[in-house]
Chain A
Amino acid sequence: MDLFVAAFGFGLVSMSVIAIAAVGFTMQFGITNMINLAYGEVMISSAYVAYYLNRAGFTIWFGMVAGALFGAVFSFLLNRILYAPFLRKGTSHLGMVIVSLAVSLMIANLLLPIVGYFPVSYQEDPGRLIRWGSIALTRDQFIIIGIAVVLMLAIHALLTYTRLGKAMRATAANPTLARNCGIPTQRVIDAVWLITGALCGLAGVVAALDSDSFAIANGATFLITVLAAAVLGGAGQPYGAMIGAVLIGMITELSAAAWSPQYKEVVAFGILVLVMVLRPQGLLAKRGALAAAG
């Protein structure tokens, strides 16, 4: 029983990491209609930005801010330089998926000679272990949970209470109508790439910090988990991605406690498949902040 309680605590950390990444990914898709398969590589690129700053003597918390800024600028430029020209030419959704896959491979292969293939670690003391019953988490893990909670609340506030958030929702629902109503949709989309890119970059650093040791190959691993959470919650739905993150994060840790750790991803993705069979649109489709009314 103690192990399950401990696994529950670890699940809180895992779901926090996944939530930051998945919400960014699903917002990007929900508003720009772009399935960006290069998301995982932007995450890992940001993690390396923080790594080199960390090696230069900066704290990992500074690296997190730098990683978020890098992710924002990188994602913004990716859209402006690579994706937007294809979209202007009317490239199909499937075509854009292939373009983003190509971009993902290009980033990974351009990064490889610079960072190498082998795992690296941040030089960061995770802090003392704080115990609460059988739950034992480090200071850093509590901070990660705190960051995720604050960001989720901030995303909720952004989408619900701000003019930008309302403009994002309008653009997501019907970009043509939004433009005709005077919403500068291009600037909204730029803002979306910056905000979701920042979430992506921050998620990369947080995930790398949480992993203790990371390598370039982790970009693809991150993407699979993020995709799973986003799809499970309902593609394009930020609240759905949060729920997806909770489920994927918890299930992987609890199943590792219940069975052999080899099967933890099998169980998590098995549940994803089951949900997709029973509810193909995902858990929160048409109910999230970005969904069209009705």
Chain B
Amino acid sequence: MPSRFVFAVGAILLLAACGGSTPTGNGLGTGALTVGVIAPFTGADAGLGPAYYAACLPAALSINNNGGVGGRMLSCSKFDTRGEPADAVPAANQMVASTSGLMAAIGCTSDEASTVVPIIDRAHIPMFCMTGQSEFNKTPLKYFHRLVPADVYDAYAMVGSALFGPGHAPYKKAALVFGDDIGSQAFVQPATNAFTKLGGTIAINQPIHLGAPSYRTEVQAMLASHPDVIFTEALGSAGTYLKEVKTQNNGQMIPFIGSSATIDPEWFQQVRDAIGLNDLLKYYAGVDLGYTFTGPAYAEFKTNLDASAAQFPDAPKYKQRGSTLHLYDGIIMTALAMVATNSSDPTVYNPKIIDIANGTSGATVVNTYKDGVAALKAGKSIRFEGAGGQNNFNQWNNSQSGYILVGYDKDGGEVRAGELTPDQTSKIFAAGGS
């Protein structure tokens, strides 16, 4: 019996030793750290995952080049949800169960957020999610963070672009062409509410099946409804649909307004190849959060993004992708929170993320991980303003900022076309019911 006991104790000690670093409430521990990028890398929304992976790589470089998190180096791991809730659950479980040193998760789009967010939250892993679903507007989940507004605001911004956008008379009749995925359909109701209450009419609401080989009959029905403008987010199928619009409309495009997800290099390339650059520049309008793409935080991001091309050749394409900027900021803020609390225990450093994002009274504003660590070591409290700009988390861990109206330049760069005035914004919000 004693020998069995000794064996059992020995085995336990051996397992503990093999387990790598153990999070504690005191000290940053040892061993590598990982950020899990849980998002669609295949499937209809496969364009989203790479944008988020492109956020993680420069954040890891920024942190690792400045000593890591207390000496712990950071790496990024992809977990493919395929954009399907059913596939996302095993991906999330795998990430939580098999990733050592998992310090944060990013991604969790509207496609899978409902299923993966509770799993990640139960594991006490801070996450930064790119979901606009309204169920997270007032979420009690403490480890959930959202750096982008709910979809409802994206939809309102599209309505604002139609009614108050520059260079055109107000559009009065809109076709809603959104993918039949959860994320895209979230725009339909708020856009309908706001647009119709402000005098517009919905010519047709057309949920399209993403990935279908053609949309000829759908396009014919849409054209028969004679819209002035198309509101759209149909990632992966935009090229096919819009090319058929042009073909069936005798080579003429109809103005189309895309959600903030259409500010994406792959979307730009796909639609440009389908309808031609001139028509894309002339007929497309988009909405996006008000980024400046300047300043020390953005410069640091851009330098590390370009350097990430060694690992992910397409990374530099995401230099103006809003979600890439925000998720990059989320990772930096998490690392700073760990340094600030001197802890690798998420239950300890998670609450600090909000302090670092919002700042506390007298906090020193920092724009890079390096400056943040230096300020913390000097005993200062900090507020991190990153590549995506200032953050203002509310009590439900939602950080929101205003929208701008944008277009593309010929190289796929974002061009600011205008912005909504506070009066216009409040009119739309009131009409939409917010």
Contact = CB atoms under 8 A, between A and B. Distances in A.
Please determine whether chains A and B interact with each other in the same assembly.
yes
Interface of A: 2-3, 6-7, 10, 13-14, 17, 117-121, 123, 126, 128-129, 136, 138, 207, 210-215, 217-218, 221-222, 225, 253-254, 256-257, 260-262, 264-265
A211 B237 CA distance: 10
A162 B184 CA distance: 54
Contacts of B42: 117, 217
B421 interface: no
A7 B220 contact: yes
Contacts of B220: 3, 6-7, 10, 257
Contact of A129 (B213, B215, B236, B247): B247
Nearest to B218: A261
Top 6 A-B pairs, shortest CB-CB distance: A213-B239, A212-B243, A256-B217, A10-B216, A121-B273, A213-B240
Nearest to A211: B213
Contacts of A217: 42-44, 46, 211
A14 B214 contact: yes
Contacts of A117: 41-42, 46-47
Contacts, number: 113
B221 interface: yes
6 contacts: A3-B224, A218-B211, A254-B217, A257-B220, A261-B209, A265-B212
B306 interface: no
A129 B243 CA distance: 13
Given A129-B250, A261-B208, A221 B213 contact: yes
Contact of A210 (B41, B44, B214, B236): B214
Contacts of B209: 261-262, 264-265
Nearest to B243: A212
B274 interface: yes
A254 to B, nearest CB: 8
Contacts of B208: 261-262
Contacts of B134: none
B85 interface: no
Q: How large is the interface on B (under 10, 10 to 19, 20 to 34, 35 or more residues)?
A: 35 or more
B303 interface: no
B64 interface: no
Contact of B224 (A2, A17, A221): A2
A47 B73 CA distance: 43
Given A129-B247, A215-B236, A256-B218, A118 B213 contact: no
B270 interface: yes
B206 interface: yes
Given A14-B216, A17-B213, 14 more contacts: A3-B220, A7-B220, A10-B216, A14-B213, A117-B47, A119-B236, A212-B243, A212-B247, A256-B221, A257-B217, A257-B221, A261-B208, A261-B209, A264-B209
A213 B41 CA distance: 19
A260 B266 contact: no
B170 interface: no
Contacts of B248: 129, 136
Contacts of A17: 213
B207 A213 contact: no
Interface of B: 41-44, 46-47, 180, 206-209, 211-218, 220-221, 224, 236-237, 239-240, 243-244, 247-248, 250-251, 266, 269-270, 273-274
A132 B254 CA distance: 23
Q: Which of B41, B209, B236, B247 has the most CB of A within 10 A?
A: B247
Q: Which of B44, B207, B214, B215 has the most CB of A within 10 A?
A: B214
B207 A260 contact: yes
Given A129-B247, A218-B211, A7 B217 contact: yes
Q: Which of B206, B239, B274 has the most CB of A within 10 A?
A: B239
A119 B213 contact: no
A17 B215 CA distance: 14
A212 B269 CA distance: 14
A117 B235 CA distance: 12
Contacts of A212: 214, 239-240, 243-244, 247, 274
A118 B269 contact: yes
Given A126-B247, A221-B211, A262-B209, A121 B239 contact: yes
Contacts of B237: 119, 213
Contacts of B206: 260-261
Contacts of A253: 216-217
Given A13-B216, A119-B240, A211-B213, A138 B247 contact: yes
Q: Which of B42, B211, B217, B250 has the most CB of A within 10 A?
A: B217
A14 B218 CA distance: 14
A2 B248 CA distance: 14
Given A213-B239, A213-B243, A3 B221 contact: yes
B313 to A, nearest CB: 10
Nearest to A266: B209
Q: Which of A207, A257, A262 has the most CB of B within 10 A?
A: A262
A9 to B, nearest CB: 9
Contact of A213 (B43, B46, B273): B273
Contacts of B236: 118-119, 215
Given A7-B217, A256-B217, A118 B270 contact: yes
Nearest to A207: B213
Contacts of B46: 117-118, 217
Nearest to B43: A217
Contacts of A123: 273
B374 to A, nearest CB: 40
A261 B217 contact: yes
A136 B218 CA distance: 14
A141 B313 CA distance: 37
Q: Which of A222, A260, A264 has the most CB of B within 10 A?
A: A260
Q: Which of A3, A215, A218, A264 has the most CB of B within 10 A?
A: A215
A119 B224 contact: no
Contacts of A264: 209, 217
B383 to A, nearest CB: 37
A10 B221 CA distance: 12
B217 A6 contact: yes
A257 B240 CA distance: 18
Nearest to A112: B42
Contact of A218 (B180, B213, B215, B269): B213
Nearest to B265: A118
Contacts of B217: 3, 6-7, 10, 253-254, 256-257, 261, 264
Q: Which of A2, A117, A214, A225 has the most CB of B within 10 A?
A: A117
